[in-house]
């Protein structure tokens, strides 16, 4: 047996090293670094292109948005490492050279001017904040070694840029860049980079929104050090010094506040982001339209809009209210249960087609009729006598719809609707049957369920659930759906709804080329509490609701007058193609219309129609409504010889693109067109502007 003296010194040294490594490894496993802070980050909802919609703060109200090195300015990272940890990619968590250099600097200065901490050591301190003592420094060094054993350099740098403090409740370079500069850190000016490098060392004392002078001094010192080290040129140094310091924080982007917030709250994992099916550009435009309409309809009014892509059932826009600054604006009306008014009538007739009890030209009586103890009336209090099914649906007549519902059975209709996943809520508990009143809105329905039904109507009667997340899109082609109506019946209903007359100010169907001709239905609940319009066109289903979130009544606000115009505006924003109705004319024209007798009564005005509200895109809109950079409106008319246009009596000059008018401001205008015979046709329009990028 070998004695201790007989063991060679080299072997003893190797055993000692091995023992130390075993002890260190044991301690490393037994006392791992606390990564709980790194696992908490603000949830971010992104649109279908990866653009920001909305983020949620973590517990305590802190904005900690996870950094992404691939989307962070590379020169900023280079300058950060130049200032904070030049040998970051060479050391294993502790930089002996930096510590020695810092020690000599402190001795020379007679005070602590440099700590020699690496990015990894700073990361350790951010994970487990401690007071600045020698013992705390030793612990940070040990933790830095542990972090280097566990994570890659990219991971450590990403975690540092996520947890670094930037003043107030801001943590991470993304939160700081968005709040101070109003943009992501993908591209930063040299001055912005220097400020972001300076802030974490003393975030509260250098906050630019509270201490702009201190922030500028710290930024300029970083710039000086970068210039003296050769990282930037003298000219770059001088130009960066002249950049202004931000003195106010900017609010984070917040689109689709209700839906994006709900989806973000469901985000899980370290990434803490969720990719939605929403489109930020469309969402922004429709939110602007919703605010305008709500202002017009009164201080207590709100608006909800849902846009669904029929092919995938992806929700592309969700406006839950007209704004958080309005009454009830915090309520997500897209998920609210409201009366559907007459919007279920198309499905009543569709089921009647399926059951073989009616056809589009079946004659029905619109006359006072009692169904047991229930006697419905038409909305206009006028009965129209004998009408066809097509006429009854286009005119939204009540008695014919109730007659068909009575024929197919109210309970059967309700069961088929609920079989599609759409729950009908009765107004009073204990009622076993909603009865015939459900034809006229006598039940409650979630607005998102209503647009689900109409998306199915546009998909030839096949009902499928809505999709909100990008990852669900992969499953969309495999959703079997629920057959609510046959293809034939759904097509008949759609063809009838396309013949519904457009809202006031819209072109006739035959003249619609740029605008869309949706198959649509309106609905108004009792007391004008809900004004609804739902439509299908160009591969999209759209719901528009206007009303009061508290359920209060609004005088004379019908679905046709209060919501249908906005529905058409939404389809215009979608830029979908025209979709004219199939020919469903009676077999013979009335005697008086067999021959078209024409006479020259003046020019025929094609665009704009009388009484229309025209939306224009303007680069800028002043407080008094003056517009600059307006996208022109192309005027059109038909008449004898050369036509001349006038606005408020002033002539318009025709250009290469024809007669294009650029309104100078919002407001009401009188436009006139005169033909060679001197006959004049006049139209009155209202111009409203939406700020945005004008097409060249």
Model confidence at 581: pLDDT above 90: no
Model confidence at 589: pLDDT above 50: no
* Same domain, yes or no: 227 and 199: yes
- pLDDT (average), residues 205-233: 95
Confirm whether 84 is a catalytic residue. yes
Give CA–CA dist 395/387, Å, rounded: 10
Chain CA centroid to CA 592, Å: 52
Of 190, 219, 241, which one is at a domain's C-terminal end? Answer: 241
* Same domain, yes or no: 565 and 494: yes
Pick the more confident residue, 85 or 313.
Answer: 313
CATH code, domain with 134: 1.10.3810.10
Task: Retrieve residue 683's tokens.
Answer: 């139209």
Count of structural domains within the chain: 4
- pLDDT (average), residues 7-24: 61
Percent of the chain surpassing pLDDT 90: 47
Give CA–CA dist 562/504, Å, rounded: 11
Domain assignment present for 227? yes
Task: Retrieve residue 373's tokens.
Answer: 């103890």
- pLDDT (average), residues 173-181: 95
Rg (CA), the chain: 34
* Same domain, yes or no: 529 and 627: no
Query: What residues have CB less than 8 Å from 372, skipping those under 6 apart?
Result: none
Residue 645's region, left for phi above 0, alpha for psi from -120 to 50, else beta, is beta
Which residue range(s) make up the domain with 628? Answer: 601-691
**Burial of residue 1, with CB atoms counted within 10 A of its CB: 0-12 exposed, 13-18 middle, 19 or more buried:** exposed
Active-site position among 158, 273, 339, 342: 342
Is residue 571 helix, strand or coil? helix
Give CA–CA dist 310/303, Å, rounded: 22
Give the global pTM: 0.74
pLDDT at 428: 59
Give CA–CA dist 30/37, Å, rounded: 19
Task: Retrieve residue 301's tokens.
Answer: 């009014």
Domain assignment present for 217? yes
Give CA–CA dist 244/181, Å, rounded: 11
Q: 549 near 491, Cβ under 8 Å? A: no
Tens digit of each residue's pLDDT (9 = 90 or more) over 123-158: 888 888 766 666 667 777 788 888 888 889 999 999
Q: 683 near 646, Cβ under 8 Å? A: no
Long-range contacts of 361-366 (CB under 8 A, 24+ apart): 361/388, 361/389, 361/390, 362/388, 362/389, 363/387, 363/388, 364/388, 364/389, 364/392, 364/400, 364/403, 364/404, 365/399, 365/400, 365/403, 366/392, 366/397, 366/399, 366/400
Average pLDDT, the chain: 83
Dihedral of CA atoms 377, 379, 385, 390 in degrees, nearest 10, equals -120
* Same domain, yes or no: 80 and 133: yes
* Same domain, yes or no: 371 and 519: yes
* Same domain, yes or no: 199 and 80: yes
* Same domain, yes or no: 495 and 375: yes
DSSP 509: G
Give CA–CA dist 101/181, Å, rounded: 35
Asked if omega into 541 is within 30° of 0 (cis), the reply is no
Tens digit of each residue's pLDDT (9 = 90 or more) over 591-644: 432 222 334 567 877 777 777 777 777 878 887 778 888 888 888 887 778 888
Model confidence at 76: pLDDT above 90: yes
Query: What residues have CB less than 8 Å from 197, skipping those under 6 apart?
Result: 76, 79, 80, 83, 84, 222
Q: 507 to each of 367, 394, 460, 467, 568, how far by Cα in Å?
A: 32, 18, 27, 34, 11
Tens digit of each residue's pLDDT (9 = 90 or more) over 222-281: 999 999 999 999 999 999 999 999 999 998 889 999 999 999 988 765 667 899 999 999
Q: 341 near 559, Cβ under 8 Å? A: yes
Of 556, 574, 592, which one is at a domain's C-terminal end? Answer: 574
pLDDT at 103: 58
pLDDT at 25: 56
- Beta-bridged to residue 607, according to DSSP, are 636
* Same domain, yes or no: 90 and 215: yes
Going through 192-313 in order, the beta strands assigned E by DSSP cover 273-275, 302-309
* Same domain, yes or no: 476 and 438: yes
Domain assignment present for 285? no
Give CA–CA dist 338/130, Å, rounded: 55
Model confidence at 75: pLDDT above 70: yes
CATH code, domain with 356: 3.40.710.10
Domain assignment present for 590? no
Domain assignment present for 38? no
Domain assignment present for 593? no
Query: What residues have CB less than 8 Å from 447, skipping those under 6 apart?
Result: 304, 306, 333, 334, 335, 336, 338, 543, 545
* Same domain, yes or no: 436 and 505: yes
Going through 321-410 in order, the beta strands assigned E by DSSP cover 337-338, 363-366, 385-388
- pLDDT (average), residues 672-694: 81
CATH code, domain with 650: 2.60.40.60
Q: 559 near 303, Cβ under 8 Å? A: no
DSSP 117: -
What's the 3-state SS for 167-188? CCCEECHHHHHHHHHCCCCCCC
Q: How many CA atoms lie within 13 A of 589 on its CB side?
A: 6
* Same domain, yes or no: 558 and 656: no
Of 190, 208, 241, which one is at a domain's C-terminal end? Answer: 241
* Same domain, yes or no: 312 and 411: yes
- pLDDT (average), residues 86-95: 84
Domain assignment present for 282? no
Task: Retrieve residue 110's tokens.
Answer: 């007679």
pLDDT at 588: 43
Model confidence at 464: pLDDT above 60: yes
Domain assignment present for 273? no
**Burial of residue 368, with CB atoms counted within 10 A of its CB: 0-12 exposed, 13-18 middle, 19 or more buried:** exposed
């Amino acid at each position: 047996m070998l004695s201790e003296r007989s063991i060679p010194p080299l072997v003893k040294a190797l055993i000692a090293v091995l023992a130390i490594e075993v002890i260190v490894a044991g301690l490393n496993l037994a006392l791992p670094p606390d990564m709980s802070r790194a696992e908490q980050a603000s949830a971010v909802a992104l649109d279908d292109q990866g653009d920001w919609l909305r983020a949620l703060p973590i517990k305590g109200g802190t904005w900690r948005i996870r950094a992404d090195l691939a989307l962070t300015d590379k020169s900023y990272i280079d300058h950060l490492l130049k200032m904070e940890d030049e040998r970051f990619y060479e050391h294993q968590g502790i930089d002996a050279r930096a510590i020695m250099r810092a020690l000599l600097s402190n001795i020379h200065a007679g005070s602590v001017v440099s700590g020699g901490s690496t990015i990894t050591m700073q990361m350790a301190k951010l994970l487990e904040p401690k007071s600045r003592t020698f013992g705390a420094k030793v612990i940070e060094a040990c933790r830095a070694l542990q972090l280097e054993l566990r994570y890659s350099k990219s991971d450590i740098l990403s975690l540092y840029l996520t947890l670094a403090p930037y003043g107030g409740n801001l943590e991470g370079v993304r939160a700081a860049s968005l709040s101070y500069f109003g943009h992501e850190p993908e591209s930063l000016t040299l001055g912005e980079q220097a400020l972001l490098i300076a802030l974490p060392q003393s975030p509260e004392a250098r906050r630019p929104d509270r201490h702009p002078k201190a922030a500028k001094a710290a930024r300029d010192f970083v710039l000086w050090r970068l210039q003296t080290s050769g990282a930037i040129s003298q000219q770059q140094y001088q130009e960066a010094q002249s950049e202004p310091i931000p003195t106010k924080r900017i609010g984070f982007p917040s689109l689709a506040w209700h839906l994006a917030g709900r989806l973000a709250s469901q985000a899980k994992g370290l990434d803490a982001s969720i990719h939605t099916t929403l489109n930020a550009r469309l969402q922004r435009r429709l939110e602007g339209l919703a605010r305008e309409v709500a202002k017009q309809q009164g201080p207590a009014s709100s608006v909800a809009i849902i846009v669904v892509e029929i092919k995938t059932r992806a929700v592309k826009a969700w406006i839950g209210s007209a704004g958080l600054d309005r009454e009830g604006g915090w309520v997500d009306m897209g998920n609210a249960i409201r009366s559907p008014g007459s919007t279920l009538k198309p499905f009543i007739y569709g089921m009647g087609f399926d059951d073989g009890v009616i056809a589009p030209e079946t004659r029905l009586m619109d006359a006072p009729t009692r169904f047991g103890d229930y006697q419905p009336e038409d909305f206009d209090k006028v009965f129209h006598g004998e009408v066809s099914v097509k006429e009854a649906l286009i005119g939204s007549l009540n008695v014919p719809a109730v007659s068909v519902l009575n024929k197919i059975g109210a309970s059967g209709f309700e069961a088929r609707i609920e079989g599609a996943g759409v729950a009908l809520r009765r107004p009073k508990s204990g009622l076993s049957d909603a009865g015939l009143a459900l034809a006229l809105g006598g039940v409650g329905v979630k607005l998102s369920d209503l647009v689900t039904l109409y998306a199915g109507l546009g998909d030839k009667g096949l009902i499928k659930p809505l999709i909100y997340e990008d990852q669900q899109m992969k499953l969309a082609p495999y959703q079997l759906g629920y057959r609510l109506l046959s293809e034939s019946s759904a097509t008949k209903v759609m063809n009838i709804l396309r013949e519904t007359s457009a809202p006031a100010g819209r072109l006739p169907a035959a003249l619609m080329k740029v605008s869309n001709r949706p198959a649509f239905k309106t609905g108004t609940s009792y007391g004008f509490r809900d004004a609804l319009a739902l439509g299908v066109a160009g591969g999209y289903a759209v719901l528009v609701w206007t009303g009061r979130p508290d359920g209060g009544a609004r005088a004379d606000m019908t679905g046709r007058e209060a919501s249908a115009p906005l529905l058409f505006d939404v389809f215009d924003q979608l830029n979908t193609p025209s979709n004219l109705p199939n020919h469903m004319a009676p077999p013979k024209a009335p005697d008086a219309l067999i021959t078209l007798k024409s006479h020259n009564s003046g020019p025929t005005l094609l665009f704009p129609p009388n009484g229309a509200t025209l939306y224009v895109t303007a680069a800028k809109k002043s407080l008094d409504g003056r517009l600059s950079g307006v996208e022109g409106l192309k005027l059109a008319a038909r008449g004898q010889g050369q036509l001349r246009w006038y606005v408020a009596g002033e002539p318009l000059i025709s250009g290469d693109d024809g007669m294009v008018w650029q309104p100078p401001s919002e407001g009401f205008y009188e436009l006139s067109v005169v033909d060679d015979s001197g006959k004049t046709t006049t139209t009155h329009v209202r111009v409203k502007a939406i700020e945005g990028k004008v097409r060249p």
